[in-house]
């Protein structure tokens, strides 16, 4: 398994500002993902963070709004830009490992609870 440290754990931000969320893993991982969980909802994949190249975004999410960095195999950041109250959600980092062709369960950080006022 992987230990994932995500910070901040929570934040209250004003509309129009930006917040960068950090995700640090204790070991090298193949894939890193960012998810959003809106209040009372399920998890929605925002993007796959690719090491050394631009992130791959899911439908409905764009780089200008959610820029992502992944400078190495253990670290990634997600920025929520120009925030509005609709961005109030839990943002979760997750990682995937493959060993011998076997996919590990996706492990999740504890999430960042973002409230935009």
Partner 1 sequence: AQKVTQAQTEISVVEKEDVTLDCVYETRDTTYYLFWYKQPPSGELVFLIRRNSFDEQNEISGRYSWNFQKSTSSFNFTITASQVVDSAVYFCALNDYKLSFGAGTTVTVRA
Site for partner 1, rule CB under 8 A: 33, 41-45, 48, 90, 92, 94, 102-103, 105-108, 110-111, 113
- Of the two residues 44 and 81, which places its CB atom closer to partner 1 in the complex? 44
- Of the two residues 65 and 107, which places its CB atom closer to partner 1 in the complex? 107
Length of the chain: 117
Gap between the Cα atoms of 53 and 71, Å rounded:
9
- Of the two residues 47 and 80, which places its CB atom closer to partner 1 in the complex? 47
| Spatial contact of 42 and 35, defined as CB atoms under 8 Å apart | no
- Closest CB 60 distance from partner 1, rounded Å: 14
Q: Is the peptide bond before 31 cis (omega within 30 degrees of 0)?
A: no
């Amino acid at each position: 398994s992987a230990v994932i440290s995500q910070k901040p754990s929570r934040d209250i931000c004003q509309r129009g500002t930006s917040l960068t969320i950090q995700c640090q893993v204790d070991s090298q991982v193949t894939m890193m993902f960012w998810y959003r969980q809106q209040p009372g909802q399920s998890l929605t994949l925002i993007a796959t963070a690719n090491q050394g190249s631009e992130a791959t975004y899911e439908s409905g999410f764009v780089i200008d709004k959610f820029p992502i960095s992944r400078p190495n195999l253990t670290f990634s950041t997600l920025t929520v830009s120009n925030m509005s109250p609709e961005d109030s959600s839990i943002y979760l980092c997750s990682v995937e490992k493959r060993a011998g062709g076997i996919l590990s369960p996706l492990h999740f950080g504890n999430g960042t609870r973002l409230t935009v006022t």
